[in-house]
Structure 1
């Protein structure tokens, strides 16, 4: 057996260098993603086109994230197998896996096209006739994303195994760029008539078509690099006996099933959202704001802690494991609670600065801002649950989180049912928060018994102190924002940006100053971790 596809190259490339490439490429892609969302908001606001798109994109988008994403099952399975094999074995293996996966996903694509109406009716039975018609049409246009998702996921894994990280990291910007260009051309042709009744279906088709074109461009870019690296072509191979094929499938199949379970709650939320006007669009816009910092910070916390948890899994190391669990939860609080304070206190100016232009008017900001506030309330519970799940994985127990996730599906549906009428769209977010709180309590209760006791009162007191500080910082930032509006005003984008920047600075400053007074060791660790990301200090000495 060889040393792996990229072993000869990786000896000269440090992990830090790889991480830097991925970080820069991901940042560029996220910037283009933000511009894409701003273009969609400016073109269609919070109206029927975006609502239809939110439902039509659920299934193909889910497959694109699940199968085509970095660290997804396809990506992980191919890297784990290709890294152990010689380069000359890679092309036949990749071509065979691509043939097998493409055959199945092509069938899924055909099903989505033929039964698009059934899919939309099952997912969103409460849509109006016009929005339903647009959603069906958009789903039929975007159905090939199911096939492209698998091809893109295979491309990610293959290129990373060949020691290529820049193109896979930056390739998602093609999807954003296609939508931006498509909407730009549409606006150039139609101008202010883009949302006129006679053109609204055209805009709907351009949005869906741009999404599909972007995925095609992303795949073609990866395919070209794959050919150049000698890692396979478009050749069809049906010899499933090629060494490594079954190894890939053994990893890929269960990982796909397990990851897919996490998205059922999204379907449940959208089912109820279909009965609330503009709910899906409001959730889409607010969720995008929240996920950007959440994704970056979660990597800062979870990636370093996972191997630490694993090294402390033996009973003799449990006292230190308990300290690390506390560390994970308090670092989560230190990073999430300031964001909670800002998202609650500054939701409206945030939405204004990011989205309010073109067809996205002040009324739309008024609908998205409460949803953003609701998402902000749940940030600690979302990431805290993930920290505790990693503890179970480190203990070799994947069954407990899986069982809890099954229970959460039913709990989420129940809470959605009770919350969506009295609280409207934010109620669907509150339901998710309730599920995450329940998960944390269950996980802590089980770990308390399994690890022979946890200092839960001590942890709870520290968390309550940080929560109180976040309230103070939130009130401070809200006061600054109110004073700015009262004295200076916010009549243009520059004034809004300055208002938001000053309020965010005050909020973070208050939180950090007050948190340092608590003398918690996690505060120093958190500040060191930020410094490390800026390249100045080391973490967890």
Structure 2
């Protein structure tokens, strides 16, 4: 078996995801500055969420969970992997084309189901119009997910990880051009989304061709292999659908207060930075590696890969959690408070960021635990757990709304995230030793937690001491930079001193993965 280089894969996917998230920050900064929380941005968020929601149903979540392990095993045993990929391409394209047509026809109903608080005001009609423009994006993204799955299974992570960067490059460029050339910024933004989708699909399609796998549009045909793929993919689609239902529930709860949908969206995008860079990178790299190791009977190697992935996730996630809880307001104020975004908006977003931060480790650990199931083509168990988490999320979001108001969806999401982790961990016990974190993970996890707590205390104190600087137009950017550098220094030194980080091991791992 030719092993996938885990650390190299983590770094590649993490780098490109970081680039995408940084450009995503720029995109959200431009959106909040030019458009700002309010009716226009609420309508855009609701419309843009629709193709992203269905993309998770039909592409990234369900498709990768089912397709990648099956394709990886065929690739490992030279069992018609390209023919299998061609059949999957044919069926995915056909199904999503039908979905796009139905979505365009019934767009008013989709908007009402996902944001009925918009009914009766201008946001509803705007969301319907924007949704019709953005919805075809799902076709490009679904097919791009297939090509990305092929590339990931073959150990080629760069193109698939780089593709999302194009969306942010295109949308940021469009808004800047709109500001320079004139016209409604929202029109420049919304029309760029399908164009960016075409560019993303082209990038991964070409990369797959260069990897030696050539797929072309053809009519789908029934086969036993596609029946097996559907059997595995359907529970995964339902599981990912549950996650999207949680987001929709939050949007429904917040949609009756103007601006709340925008606040939650911006907060969600901020905590998505470490989730994307670490959690998604681990999930993408770990799944094909576990699948191939289990196929080869390498149980000890699979356990080591699982434990190192968990350790890697904590090393970068817990300090982010500490920062989101300790200093959400300076982060949000410096990043977003300008133009159409007011101080009141920044305070609301900061509250949501702190609450999402509590759930961040759970969202990342899910990405570590789920491949244990998906590598065995077990998608039913995660679906059952996701249903339980969905019920918890809905009950808390709706039940806490009379007390907490628009922020209840953030509380519910974090609580549901931790519930999902507990269920995934309990369920994984049936897999035996391969699903047990080793002693090194446990020891390092405690030390990483301690180093993160130290960092949180220091940056919180530093913010209190220099708070006026953060609300001065002349000094706030420098103040945030210094605060981030201070936090990074404290965490790095503390991690070295108490043994949470070992530079010799890290250098050795980098050399092995190079």
Structure 1 match to 2:348:
367
- State the distance in 2 between where 1:514 and 1:466 align: 9
Superposition deviation, residue 365 in structure 1: 1.8
- State the distance in 2 between where 1:256 and 1:240 align: 20
Structure 1 match to 2:126:
134
Structure 1 pair 402–154 and aligned structure 2 pair: CA distance change class (3 A): closer
* Alignment counterpart, residue 108 of structure 1, candidates 90, 99, 106: 99
Q: Secondary structure at the match of 2:116?
A: coil
Structure 2 match to 1:501:
481
Gaps of 5+ in 2: none
Superposition deviation, residue 117 in structure 1: 1.0
Structure 2 match to 1:292:
273
Contact 1:101 1:150 in 2 (8 A): yes
Contact 2:69 2:288 in 1 (8 A): no
Pair 1:187 & 2:179 matched: yes
Contact 2:463 2:483 in 1 (8 A): yes
Structure 1 match to 2:252:
271
Structure 1 pair 182–396 and aligned structure 2 pair: CA distance change class (3 A): closer
Structure 2 match to 1:353:
334
Structure 2 match to 1:484:
466
User: In the TM superposition, what whole-angstrom CA distance separates every residue of 1:3-28 from its partner, at most 9, and x where no partner exists?
Assistant: xxxx9xx89x9777666654554444
Structure 2 match to 1:174:
166
- State the distance in 2 between where 1:113 and 1:25 align: 32
Contact 2:286 2:309 in 1 (8 A): no
Pairing 1:141-290 to 2, within 5 Å after superposition: 141-158=133-150, 165-190=157-182, 202-224=184-206, 231-234=214-217, 236-240=218-222, 248-249=229-230, 251-290=232-271
Structure 2 match to 1:3:
none
User: In the TM superposition, what whole-angstrom CA distance separates every residue of 1:80-110 from its partner, at most 9, and x where no partner exists?
Assistant: 37736979984x7655543432222122112
Structure 1 match to 2:110:
119
Question: What's the Cα RMSD here?
Answer: 4.7
- State the distance in 1 between where 2:269 and 2:481 align: 19
User: In the TM superposition, what whole-angstrom CA distance separates every residue of 1:497-541 from its partner, at most 9, and x where no partner exists?
Assistant: 331233234334445666677x5x6x246x6676668x4799xxx
- State the distance in 1 between where 2:16 and 2:65 align: 21
Structure 1 match to 2:24:
33
Pairing 1:45-56 to 2, within 5 Å after superposition: 45-56=36-47
Contact 1:384 1:440 in 2 (8 A): yes
Pairing 1:380-395 to 2, within 5 Å after superposition: 380-384=361-365
- State the distance in 2 between where 1:536 and 1:460 align: 25
Q: Which has the higher helix share?
A: 2
Contact 1:478 1:503 in 2 (8 A): no
Structure 2 match to 1:411:
392
Pair 1:44 & 2:55 matched: no
Superposition deviation, residue 119 in structure 1: 1.0
Contact 2:114 2:252 in 1 (8 A): yes
- State the distance in 2 between where 1:298 and 1:52 align: 29
Superposition deviation, residue 172 in structure 1: 2.2
Question: What's the TM-score, normalizing by structure 1?
Answer: 0.74
Higher relative contact order (CA 8 A, sep 6+): 2
Contact 2:268 2:353 in 1 (8 A): yes
- State the distance in 1 between where 2:480 and 2:486 align: 10
Superposition deviation, residue 123 in structure 1: 1.1
- State the distance in 2 between where 1:450 and 1:18 align: 25
User: In the TM superposition, what whole-angstrom CA distance separates every residue of 1:436-465 from its partner, at most 9, and x where no partner exists?
Assistant: 34445556777899989x9xxxx9999899
* Alignment counterpart, residue 426 of structure 1, candidates 401, 404, 407: 407
Q: Secondary structure at the match of 1:360?
A: coil
Q: Which stretch of the first structure deviates more once superposed, 118-127 or 100-109?
A: 100-109
Structure 1 pair 309–425 and aligned structure 2 pair: CA distance change class (3 A): farther
Structure 1 pair 448–220 and aligned structure 2 pair: CA distance change class (3 A): closer
Structure 1 pair 39–89 and aligned structure 2 pair: CA distance change class (3 A): same
Contact 2:159 2:204 in 1 (8 A): yes
Q: Which stretch of the first structure deviates more once superposed, 474-483 or 389-398?
A: 389-398
User: In the TM superposition, what whole-angstrom CA distance separates every residue of 1:408-439 from its partner, at most 9, and x where no partner exists?
Assistant: 21111110012234323332111122223444
Q: Which stretch of the first structure deviates more once superposed, 159-168 or 130-139?
A: 159-168
Structure 1 pair 310–213 and aligned structure 2 pair: CA distance change class (3 A): closer
Structure 1 pair 469–24 and aligned structure 2 pair: CA distance change class (3 A): closer
Q: How many residues matched?
A: 499
Contact 1:305 1:328 in 2 (8 A): no
Contact 1:74 1:154 in 2 (8 A): no
- State the distance in 2 between where 1:390 and 1:45 align: 38
- State the distance in 2 between where 1:451 and 1:165 align: 30
Contact 1:66 1:72 in 2 (8 A): no
Question: What's the TM-score, normalizing by structure 2?
Answer: 0.78
